[in-house]
Structure 1
Amino acid sequence: MQITSHKFGTFYNQAVNKIHLENDRGMSAQIIELGGIVTSMIVPDDKGVLADVVLGFDDLKSYATDSHYFGALIGRVANRIEGAQFRLNNETTHVDANAYQGRHCVHGGRFGYHHRVWRMDKTEKTDTYVAVTLVLDDKDGEEGFQNDVHVQARYELDNNNRLTLSFFATASGPTPISLTAHSYFNLQGHDTTSIANHSLTIFSKTLLEQREDRLPNGQIISTEGTRFSLSSPTLLQKIVSDGFEINHSYVIDETAQKPAQTLRRLAQLEAAGRHMQVWSNESTLHFYNGHNLDGVKGKGGTTYNRFAGLCLEPKGFVNGINEPAFPCCIIDQETPYHHSIMYDFGNASH
């Protein structure tokens, strides 16, 4: 087991370090303090051949100017807030309108958690895992959100080839919260440029129906008999060849007001002898098939075009703070937030 760190660059006069986690089976992950971004995830296939399975960049400047949220931690509220405002305790809060020509807030605003410098708080090394904890103090007024939020994000890599991200957050007063991670996966290797040969299963038969601006309309609908049906292993070849765009939240738990106590298996992805299961205690899984990638210049000179990678983002209900039909997680001084995401490359069933 190994854990090391070194300076990666500077963001707005703040030093940004890169942390390297590696287990005894060849799997490793690299994380930078800017955005808590996972810059690489090297995973063996069933023959032991290694590949980097997440899209990304070689330098800090590219992450600082990235508009696709490659590998980043997302908050204070993941996905969209309609009208970039919400009412809580009879008070209207206006947040950064960084999406849809200034109409909505997406992923916490222009300087959401993806564009903040987190700080390495502690590292851990044992015989069975290595871990790093990053911390962020999200102050009252940042991007318009009220009250202070203190967030810990702990990445743990174990010898079972599982990378687990655990969020823990406390607040000085009431605030909505929904945190997630935004890695783009390609299990053939980030430089193979297409997810067409991937098989995906999402363990859900319902999703949030959307309007044209990708905001949910308040309806939870069945996916059975539609192109969104992924509840059994589905090859993505036709979705890619048809240019079919999926950027939708699949429902795991329709009633949860906060993350559950235990992790649930949300999805399984398979390609090129690699198998990844995604586990989480959150209530929805957002599947984005990378249709907006537009010739991004990535690691090693690779160009990422449409469908070069896909995102599997566990989180709360989109726009839950504004949609009466949806639950919404509110934390305050007495109510903390805890969300864990596990990427399991070691025990996926074939």
Structure 2
Amino acid sequence: MSQSSVLPVKDSYGQLSDGRNVHRYSFTNSKNVTVRVIDYGCVITDILVPDKDGNVDDISIGFDCIEDYEPNPRCFGSICGRVVNVISGAKFVLDGKEYKMPATFSSDEKQAPKHGIHGGVRGFHLKLFSSWIEDDKVKMKYVSDDGEEGFPGELTTIVSYQLTNQNELVIEYSATTNKPTLVNFTNHAYFNLQKHDYPHIEDHILQIFADKYTVNREDDIFIPSGELRDVAGTPFDFRKPVRLGDRLKEGPHGRGFFHNFCLGESGPLKHAATLDHPPTGRRIEVRTTEPGMHLYTGCNTIPHTKGKEGAVYEPFCSICLETQHYPDSPNQEKFPSIVLRPGENFYSKTIYTFSLMSQ
């Protein structure tokens, strides 16, 4: 083991309603950073980091127990798949054949669901993975059956978590299939650098290293139009640090941000974003091999949700920095492909680094 290694510890996190056991893995490094994950939905349940005065707080919103994570409608801390984000019309064409998935989402809450999102009715965020410790990593595996949630092919996915003594939370994804299919994963952690129960993110400062973003439709504000537009001169220009309180109401209809930012080609590890919180001095830096990062600022889809330690989560109480391929990629010819074919190995890596602004 290298000096950067942090060995995880395994314990029980209770049982699902059907009696299956859920396991938790805890990492604590030499810098007093602790990360805990469970093998149900590959959920990150806790991220505890020191502030500039040495006070340690949990900066990820979530729940106290498996009973609350079992439904997890907001995907708190989970892995989303086999295709994260939206698929317009809940259908796509692959190799000339149309496939349909369950419609579970609508941009207008008054309308019946008409789009697919986060893998379907029971996406990966609601699956119990097999799990084990391998050296200094926790690995979690799930085999998705051919036809599950409308997707073709048996897909074998392995997600690994690692915490280093450099305060890097490393998430790696790999997948193989026996038929052509679609793959697009992310972790859906919600951050508040003050503390998970802090009521807003207005005093956070965000920088995103992207020159373009994917424009959403005027008539369906969470669905991409297919256009890639320069961020210059728009509310989506985060190339220089922006105080979120000065920008949140500029999102569509004052609902914040639900938008993908274009980072460059898939493959190379690149700096996607930096999130700062001057009052505590905490910082998160995001690096990824993915071509996009989805910025989600809670909008109005977190209505008065009871969370851990008695917290109540409200709109705009947290921020998601979701590294992934672009939303609705199967239906957008200009977007990077998310097709995985037999004989190919999907691989993706994202690193969240926790530090202080003065460092």
TM bucket, shorter chain: over 0.9
Q: Of residues 3, 12, 19 in structure 2, which corresponds to 1:7?
A: 12
Determine the structure 2 residue equivalent to 1:170: 176
Which of 126, 137, 148 is 2:143 aligned to? 137
Whole-angstrom CA distance in 1 between matches of 2:325 and 2:148: 21
> How many residue pairs end up in the alignment?
340
Decide which of 227, 238, 242 is 1:230's aligned counterpart.
238
CA deviation profile, 1:312-332 (whole Å, cap 9, x unmatched) = 001012111111222212112
Is the 8 Å Cα contact of residues 258 and 295 (structure 2) preserved in structure 1? yes
2:72 counterpart (53, 66, 70): 66
The C-alpha deviation readout for 1:126-165, integer Å capped at 9, x for no partner, is xxxx321111111111111111111111100000011000
**1:245 corresponding residue in structure 2:** 256
* Amino acid of the structure 1 residue aligned with 2:20: Q
For residue 330 of structure 2, give the secondary structure of its aligned residue in structure 1: coil
Match in the other structure for 1:127: none
Matched-pair contact (CA < 8 Å) for 1:21–1:131: no
Find out whether 1:305 has 2:310 as its counterpart: no
For the 8 Å contact 1:277–1:348, the answer to whether it is kept is: no
Aligned equivalents of 2:170, 2:358: Cα separation in 1: 18
Cα drift, residue 348 of structure 1? 6.8
Q: 1:344 aligns with which of 345, 350, 353?
A: 353
Map 1:304-343 to 2 at 5 A. Answer: 304-343=313-352
Question: Which residue does 1:290 correspond to in 2?
Answer: 298
Note if contact 1:268-1:348 (Cα within 8 Å) is conserved in structure 2: no
Aligned equivalents of 1:205 and 1:92: distance in 2? 34
SS at match of 1:190: coil
Preserved contact between residue 86 and residue 223 of structure 2 (Cα < 8 Å): yes
1:278 pairs with 2:286: yes
Structure 2 residue aligned with 1:115: 126
Q: Which residue is 2:88 aligned to?
A: 82
Q: Deviations over 1:152-192 (max 9, x none)?
A: 11100000011000001111111111100100001111011
When residues 334 and 311 of structure 1 are mapped into structure 2, their CA distance, relative to the original with a 3 A threshold, is same
**% identical aligned pairs:** 29
TM-score, with structure 1 as normaliser: 0.93
**Helix, strand or coil at the partner of 1:321:** helix
Does the Cα contact within 8 Å between 2:211 and 2:231 map onto a contact in 1? Answer: yes
Instruction: Write the distance in 1 (CA, Å) between the matches of 2:103 and 2:255.
Output: 28
Equivalent-residue separation in structure 1 for 2:133 and 2:87 (angstroms): 33
CA contact 1:76–1:113 (8 Å) conserved in 2: yes
C-alpha displacement at 1:2, in angstroms? 4.5
Amino acid at match of 2:308: K
Amino acid corresponding to residue 206 of structure 1 in structure 2:
K
Question: Is the CA contact (8 Å cut-off) linking 2:160 and 2:171 kept in structure 1?
Answer: yes
State the distance in 2 between where 1:67 and 1:143 align: 16
Structure 2: runs of 5 or more not aligned: 1-5, 107-111
Query: 1:36 touches 1:118 (CA, 8 Å); kept in 2?
Result: yes
Contact 1:264 1:280 in 2 (8 A): yes
Deviates more, 1:265-274 or 1:38-47: 38-47
Q: What's the CA shift string for 1:232-283, capped at 9, x where partnerless?
A: 1111122347755111001112xx4xx31x3100000011211110000101
Distance in 1 (alpha carbons) for counterparts of 2:248 and 2:67? 30
Match of 2:228 in 1: 220
Once residues 156 and 2 of structure 1 are traced to their aligned partners in structure 2, the CA distance between those partners, rounded to angstroms, is 9
Task: State which drifts further: 95-104 or 19-28.
Answer: 95-104
Which amino acid in structure 2 is aligned with residue 105 of structure 1? G
Cα distance in 2 for partners of 1:66, 1:98 equals 14
Question: What SS is found at the alignment partner of 1:192?
Answer: coil
Gaps of 5+ in 1: 125-129
TM-score, L = length of structure 2 = 0.91
Task: Give the distance between the partners of 2:226 and 2:131, measured in 1 at CA.
Answer: 39
Which residues in structure 2 correspond to 1:195-210 (within 5 Å)?
195-210=201-216
Contact persistence 1:147–1:174 (CA under 8 A): yes
